[in-house]
Structure 1
Amino acid sequence: MKHKEKTRALRRRPEQLPLRSRLMAGLLAALVLATGPTVGRAQVNLPTLGDSVSADLDVGAERRFGEQIMRQIRPDPDYLDDSLLLEYVQSIWSPLVQAATRLGNIGDETQDHFAWETFLVRDKSVNAFALPGGFVGVHLGLIAMTVSADELASVLGHELSHVTQRHIARRIIGDSRNSLLATAGMIAGLIIAARSGSVDGANAAIVGSQAAAAAASLAFSRDMEREADRVGFNVMNQAGFAPAGMLSMFERMEQAYHLMDSGNYPYLRSHPLTSERIGDARTRMGTEAFVRPPGLAVHALMAARAKVLMDPRAETWAQLQNLDAGVRDTSTAAPGRGFEQLGARYAGALASIKMRDFGRAENALRSAELTLQLIGSEPQSARMLSYLRAELAQAKGQAADGFAALKPLAAERSRALLMQRAQLAMVDSRGADTARQAADDLQTFVSLNPKDAGAWAQLAQLWERLDQPLRAVRAHGEVRAAMGDLNGAIDRLRSGLRQSRSREADQIEAAVIDSRLRALLYERRQLLAELYPRGVPPGAELP
């Protein structure tokens, strides 16, 4: 049975593989592409920190590697588009990028070529990772285990520094050279076995070469980690985050180190936490007095949201419904305890919404609102609870209550508000006016943000509800284009052109689809020419 399961797994299409497997496949593809130019060199030397790697892997090639990997990640179900969580992570990420630019860590070349994009991964493990080209992934488990924005900023600043210091390019080049060393050792082992007939001699040669390659890679990684700590610390400090955030994050990770073998802390495997790194963080912090960071309530709410969304199993949500058990008395809570209670009640309310236990969700939400009043209401925290009340109304199919909950936020022009209004419009039974308004607002938004696949997907649903098939098809095509699936986008737009041949079709929208289709066909030709400079082979498809 196990053999059959493995066989079926091997036969699955790429889009059916788990995100981790597809991420590894993309990284391996980038590594293979990077290996090519180094094969014919007479001498191979690992780059030292501070050296330019542009001769081996320029920023354009690194960005293309990153895009290739992201084309594998974006269609994955674990690639999460949650407007509120993404907005919160972005509110920490953007100041870090701006600070790195002011410090000179981001030069003109990388600023223009790299994406500088964060994305969320629905995974309960504590992890974050940087990809080629300026893409940084954040697991929900990491957000859920932090207690302040400063702690999360320390991890994002560290990963940002991996990008700005070109560590990823160096690692690709270093690993490709190390793989050549291991391959050479295997070939030597086979030659020894053929000449002497000694299997032990062959194994010794192979193991020795692999050990040498692993040692070189490990030493290189430790240098990178030390530099990323130093640069990341300066970046987060320049961005206005408390330096104590890095130390408290290290201490939290150190306390959790014994859990590493359970697989819950992959971050500790890719970023080994040594006593030297912890000591350096303490030294950098110096004698600075600890000051309670601002925004703890907002972070508590977002950590609770991540805790609910990172594991969509019903048994997990049932446990989270009881998360605030035993923390009922807010008035006598110790300092900081109120934020824990606030998060627990938010998690209980959101989990109850997911379980469609609306009575319990209402009670937990009211309790969260009361807790926020007692610990001191913050505008951003009250805003998050307003969104949660709108989510509850949406789940109950009571759109009017949801719009009423969002009324205090009418002045903002955030993506989160546009998406929530669109979702409420989908369940509004009072007529098509709200759907039309939501569609028009989203159409304006995507015209300014054409790479937002989530917004296009929501817009497609609205156009379908409004019986606008051509606009819906075009929006579905734009979803695929934003995800990097040019073939899928072209197929959908061609389908739209076929539908436009009927007399009742909107010919203006048909003209828009035709123009967009021509642009995508040109983009595909350019990309294929870049991938196959000697000529595109018959039947070649985009990766």
Structure 2
Amino acid sequence: MPACLGTAALSALLVVSVPATAGEPLNLELPDMGDSTGTLFTPQQEKALGEAFYRNLHNQLQINEDPEVTDYIQALGRKLVEHSDMPGQAFHFFVVNQPVINAFAGPGGYIGVNSGLVLTTESESELASVLGHEIAHITQRHLYDAFQAAGRLSLPTAAAMLAGVLLGAGTGSSQLGQAAVIAASAANQQAQINFTRDNEAEADRVGMKILSSSDFDPRAMPTFFERMQQSTRFATGRSTPEFLLTHPVTMSRIADTRGRAEQYAYKQYPDSFTYQIIRAKLHVQTTRNPQESVSYFTAISDVGTRQQQDVARYGLALALIAQGKIGQGRAMLQELIRLYPEQSQFYNALADAEREAKNYPAALAAYEEALKRFPGNRALGLSYAQTLVRAGKPAEARKRLQEYLLHFPATPEVYELLAQAHSQLGNEAESHRYLAEAYYADGQTRNAILHLKLAQKAPGRDFQTDSAIEERLKEWLEEQREEREK
């Protein structure tokens, strides 16, 4: 969780308004992160910063846009937030397609968890313990002063700087992040270590309370810490999990969380079926060679409970379909649907398989049948619209997507589908307009502006479209100007 290691570094970087000249000592003052009374940064500004931060992440990381994955992590996060100190605050949970074991908290309640961490957890309670820890960092205002300082910068610059520090501290992928950590470390290394320990300890304590109140196993937190620490016994350098680089785990920290966990009565905490299904899906999505997933799920298809074996068969079906073996995967999914008629993921996977095989009539029929059983299901509705676009039915796809947006937030994928549907319909202005929105949501403002300018030149525009394009273009050009000036 880069935020946990880099918070002090981030704060120290952002409170410096004028860079030190060559040879001049850095004057980095660590703020009092417990003070939440500042007025420079309003909730509205933090919300705007969070949205800009999230767009910036899209430009640097591969955010998992799969609606089933997103809906699961959001549902799990919301369940935990309901039992936090700030149940009414907006949070946004998302999965990053990265194999490294890590997670992070950002402004505006944005909490990301890497797919590598999800796959490393051995129980849903372990995953919940990580999210609870990150929620605690936000509810306890550990990042507050950093965001206050960021508020003195332009919105695009502040978002880019926050993303740079978080990603740089966590992965070493950003020169900006490296510079921030090095500068702050040189200024007061011991203070940062103590600061991090204090905040980590509080996040552990509050996170465990959230975990228990949400009916997850409090013992999952020290169990996960112990396993992470054991994984470093023979690890050196780059083989050390990112989780431990950003979350220093000491024996005293494990002992403290273990002692707190033992205060709770022991009982069984079974994993949800959806947790198991999403882990299987992520395994296939994030494994470069489908054969590796085929081998993995084949090896465990007869291990564990009947439900665990069926989840392994689901993962095997997805891997076989990824290999192009549609028939084998289809047969497995049909059997799973027979066994679990209330599990929407199996219906969606079967219809997706027909779409990938370009059996569009069969795919559309499968989606329609599934939507009768699961009306309003976001993943099924979005996949159905995508198949309509591929099948050359843009008018129906546009209608479905417009209905979708009445109930669910737009994502880059939704904007891209709308752009494709309008292009097939010959509405070039609208097509460029939606492509612009897709690029902007992905953090690519320059390309977004380019497509808006192309939309202004496209034929067939009306007054409403022109007004919308002009307003959006003005907004983005102003952002670009502020970023250049800062």
TM-score interval for Structure 1 and Structure 2 normalised by the shorter chain: 0.7 to 0.9
Aligned match of 2:176: none
- 1:349 is aligned, of 293, 298, 317, to 317
- Aligned pairs for 1:94-105 (under 5 A) are 94-100=78-84, 103=85, 105=86
> Could you tell me whether the CA contact under 8 Å between 1:157 and 1:236 is conserved in 2?
yes
**CA apart distance, 1:125:** 1.5
Q: Structure 1 residues 284 and 91 mapped into 2: Cα distance closer, same or farther (>3 Å)?
A: same
In 2: Cα distance, 1:73 partner to 1:481 partner: 12
Q: Structure 1 residues 364 and 521 mapped into 2: Cα distance closer, same or farther (>3 Å)?
A: same
**CA apart distance, 1:136:** 1.4
In 2: Cα distance, 1:449 partner to 1:165 partner: 30
> Could you tell me whether the CA contact under 8 Å between 1:97 and 1:160 is conserved in 2?
yes
Q: Structure 1 residues 79 and 520 mapped into 2: Cα distance closer, same or farther (>3 Å)?
A: same
**CA offsets, 1:494-538, max 9 Å, x none?**
2112112xxxx2x4xx32331112222442466468x48xxxxxx
TM-score normalised by structure 1 residue count? 0.71
**CA offsets, 1:104-147, max 9 Å, x none?**
x468xxx4xxx622222111121111123322111111121224
Aligned match of 1:393: 354
Taking only the aligned residue pairs, the percentage that are identical comes to: 28
Q: Is 1:476 aligned to 2:431, yes or no? A: no
In 2: Cα distance, 1:47 partner to 1:138 partner: 27
In 2: Cα distance, 1:38 partner to 1:166 partner: 27
Aligned match of 1:365: 333
The unaligned stretches of length 5 or more in structure 1 are: 1-19, 176-206, 533-539
> Could you tell me whether the CA contact under 8 Å between 2:452 and 2:469 is conserved in 1?
yes
Q: Is 1:34 aligned to 2:9, yes or no? A: no
Q: Structure 1 residues 368 and 127 mapped into 2: Cα distance closer, same or farther (>3 Å)?
A: farther
In 2: Cα distance, 1:449 partner to 1:383 partner: 18
In 1: Cα distance, 2:206 partner to 2:313 partner: 37
Aligned match of 2:292: 319
**CA apart distance, 1:81:** 1.1
In 2: Cα distance, 1:318 partner to 1:89 partner: 27
Aligned match of 2:398: 439
- Aligned pairs for 1:240-255 (under 5 A) are 240-255=215-230
> Could you tell me whether the CA contact under 8 Å between 1:260 and 1:266 is conserved in 2?
no
Aligned match of 1:291: 268
> Could you tell me whether the CA contact under 8 Å between 1:30 and 1:65 is conserved in 2?
no
> Could you tell me whether the CA contact under 8 Å between 1:301 and 1:342 is conserved in 2?
no
For residue 440 of structure 1, give the secondary structure of its aligned residue in structure 2. Answer: helix
Question: Greater CA radius of gyration, 1 or 2?
Answer: 1
Aligned match of 1:83: 67
> Could you tell me whether the CA contact under 8 Å between 1:123 and 1:141 is conserved in 2?
yes
Aligned match of 1:518: 470
Letter in 2 for 1:324: F
TM-score normalised by structure 2 residue count? 0.78
**CA apart distance, 1:455:** 1.2
Q: Structure 1 residues 294 and 327 mapped into 2: Cα distance closer, same or farther (>3 Å)?
A: closer
In 1: Cα distance, 2:210 partner to 2:329 partner: 40
Aligned match of 1:460: 419
Aligned match of 1:383: 344
**CA apart distance, 1:461:** 2.0
Letter in 2 for 1:74: H
- Aligned pairs for 1:33-72 (under 5 A) are 33-36=14-17, 46-48=30-32, 50-52=34-36, 54=38, 66-72=50-56
Aligned match of 1:162: 137
- Aligned pairs for 1:122-133 (under 5 A) are 122-133=97-108
**CA offsets, 1:269-300, max 9 Å, x none?**
101222233233333332522314251x2211
**CA offsets, 1:423-468, max 9 Å, x none?**
222343xx63xx4223212123336656522211122222233443
The unaligned stretches of length 5 or more in structure 2 are: 21-26, 151-181
> Could you tell me whether the CA contact under 8 Å between 2:216 and 2:269 is conserved in 1?
no
> Could you tell me whether the CA contact under 8 Å between 1:154 and 1:246 is conserved in 2?
yes
> Could you tell me whether the CA contact under 8 Å between 1:141 and 1:306 is conserved in 2?
no
- Aligned pairs for 1:171-190 (under 5 A) are none
Letter in 2 for 1:34: V
Higher relative contact order (CA 8 A, sep 6+): 2
Q: Is 1:414 aligned to 2:387, yes or no? A: no
Aligned match of 1:226: 201
For residue 167 of structure 1, give the secondary structure of its aligned residue in structure 2. Answer: coil
In 2: Cα distance, 1:470 partner to 1:29 partner: 42
> Could you tell me whether the CA contact under 8 Å between 2:11 and 2:30 is conserved in 1?
no
Return 53-62 or 273-282, whichever deviates more. 53-62
**CA offsets, 1:68-104, max 9 Å, x none?**
543432134622211111111111112223332xx3x
> Could you tell me whether the CA contact under 8 Å between 1:34 and 1:57 is conserved in 2?
no
Return 351-360 or 78-87, whichever deviates more. 351-360
Q: Is 1:268 aligned to 2:244, yes or no? A: yes
Q: Structure 1 residues 75 and 260 mapped into 2: Cα distance closer, same or farther (>3 Å)?
A: same
In 2: Cα distance, 1:421 partner to 1:266 partner: 38
Aligned residues: 442
In 2: Cα distance, 1:208 partner to 1:527 partner: 28
For residue 293 of structure 2, give the secondary structure of its aligned residue in structure 1. Answer: helix
